[in-house]
Amino acid sequence: MNVLSKYTMGKYCMAAIIMMSLSGCVTSTVQQIRETQTSMTDGDSVVILGRRNRPSQAEAELDFIDCVAKNVGSGNNGLQVVSEQQFVDALFPWFEPRTAPLNTNELPELLQQPLLAERLRQIGLKYLVWVEGSTQRSAQSGSLSCTATPGGAGCFGFLTWDSDSSYEASIWDTHTAKTAGRVSTDASGTSYIPAIVIPIPIIARVQSSACNGLANQLKQFVQSG
Amino acid sequence: MNTYQGTPTCTLPLLLKRSLLCVFLGMLLSGCVAVKKVKIEGVFPIPVMPKTPIHLGIHLDDELLNYTHKESIDKYGDWEISIGPVQQALFTNLSHGVFQEFTMVKENASAEVDGVLKPNISEVQLSLPNQTRSNYYEVWIRYKFELFDRSGNLVGDWVLPAYGKSNKNNYGSSSKGLQAAAIAASRDAMAFFSINFAREPVVAKWLGAGMPLVPAKIVPAKKIPAKIDPAKTVPAEVLATEQNSKQQDSVQENSIPTPSLGTPPKTDGKQTDTPQTGEDSA
């Protein structure tokens, strides 16, 4: 029994290792432009917000914003991150799609409101990061068909597609009401699903790669300026 | 003697097949005609802003609290969005943030408040991503706000269009997507209302005048057609005077009341409940 369970465990581990090794290749680049010096002290926090002022193809997905916020807040050099929903609720109605400031010129007027300034002080907000961009699937080709009969089921074919992620984060310093800089990330990769009876997905985790790249660069940007 | 010797193994699958087919067809048909219901739920935040110095009554009538928008979209079925039930929570939190003091009232008149605000939803529209060939579920809500003085006379009204959208990539189903768009539209209405309430021309004039009582609307008496009697014709000068006074009445009915039409601004923080006419204040 013990041997069997070990054997089963081994099979699952092997399957997991194979699946992980079957991830498609992703090419990613990260760039940054610094405009002012940055630093973080104890009690300072950042918020990662998606730009949602108008319907556009470049509106970042909610899970991407969550992913960046989670990665910026984790690890050895993790920052204190306020969640997007918590932030927009705490500062309602000033960061809604129709009312949010579109550039740093609008910040001083906003921060002059005593109640708002007090709320920001309570949160300890130092940097406000606006993220724009999206992941798009492009150039899909091939075909895959699956059939189920009383005798069994199986798939046959080959499917491939390219994915491109492009995101840009604009970092605003709420203390100086100026843009501290910009960080952008681009990632692309090709995913495949060959199928001879069993389909084997080889997925390029493009969005995940873009998220990690952007989050790591953001952490470095605000801490080592 | 005829005896039926059919084997049960042959008849049972047939029955099963038929019943399964019926169930499948039933599910298919019900899927075609089912109304997709969306209910707006959630907690709305309290606005962070300087409060308007006013004690306002908020009148949410049953029409608003039970408001449901029904729309049949070609190829995409029937939709039903229940917007009414969330209005109570929405306006309670909104009022906490925007007004110095507020009271939920049952009528348009209340002697305990400075005025009464009555919100209505006049129109709702929605669109699905496939209709607009975009990634977005979209919801438009058109609110109409009526402001009454404490005697229940209409001070003025204004329209507030609100818009909400949600990206289809963030939601697994169209119901969830539309729900998110409707919540976004409600938040948009709250945001826009709270920032612009005191700037709204109707409100700004009324607040600037010290929240006066406005004259009651003059309802014209029914005209009874009568035979023209040359002996009783009205002289031209009198007719001209009457016409002028009618024009003035209509201006008073349609325009925003000016300070000269109501009571003078508050001096001691209290107002009288006696309705006053234009002559009194003049």
**Per-residue pLDDT tens over the stretch A167-181:** 999 999 999 999 999
* B188 has a chain A CB within 8 A of its CB: yes
Please say whether the structural domain B32-208 has been given the CATH code 3.10.20.
no
Poorest-confidence range of A5-9, A27-31, A119-123? A5-9
User: What pTM did the predictor assign?
Assistant: 0.75
CATH of domain A27-135+165-184+206-223: 3.40.50
The pLDDT of residue B252 is 37
Q: What value does the mean pLDDT take over residues A40-51?
A: 94
| CA distance to partner chain B, nearest, from residue A16 (Å) | 27
User: Contacts of residue B167 in chain A, CB cutoff 8 Å?
Assistant: 59, 61-62
* A3 has a chain B CB within 8 A of its CB: no
Contact A55 B195 (CB under 8 A): no
**Which of A96, A98, A116 lies closest to B48 in CB terms?**
A116
| CA distance to partner chain B, nearest, from residue A197 (Å) | 29
Peptide bond into B215 cis (omega under 30): no
User: Contacts of residue A89 in chain B, CB cutoff 8 Å?
Assistant: 45
Q: Which of A27 and B215 is assigned the larger pLDDT?
A: A27
* B198 has a chain A CB within 8 A of its CB: no
Convert chain A into a string of H (helix), E (strand) and C (coil). Answer: CHHHHHHHHHHHHHHHHHHHHCCCCEEEEEEEEECCCCCCCCCCEEEEEECCCCCCCCCCCHHHHHHHHHHHCCCCCCCCEECHHHHHHHCCCCCCCCCCCCCHHHHHHHHCCHHHHHHHHHHCEEEEEEEEEEEEEEEEEEEEEEEEECCEEEEEEEEEEEEEEEEEEEEEECCCCEEEEEEEEEEEEEEEEEEEEEECCECCCHHHHHHHHHHHHHHHHHHCC
| Residue A127 scores a pLDDT above 90 | yes
How does pLDDT run along chain B (282 residues), one tens digit per residue? 443 443 333 344 555 556 556 555 555 544 455 889 999 988 899 999 999 999 999 999 999 999 999 999 888 889 999 999 999 999 999 999 999 999 999 999 999 999 999 999 999 999 999 998 888 999 999 999 999 999 999 999 999 999 999 999 899 899 999 999 999 999 999 999 999 999 999 999 999 999 999 887 666 666 555 544 444 444 444 434 444 444 444 333 333 233 332 333 333 333 333 333 333 332
In chain A, domain spans? 27-135+165-184+206-223
Residues 168-207 of A with CB under 8 A from B: none
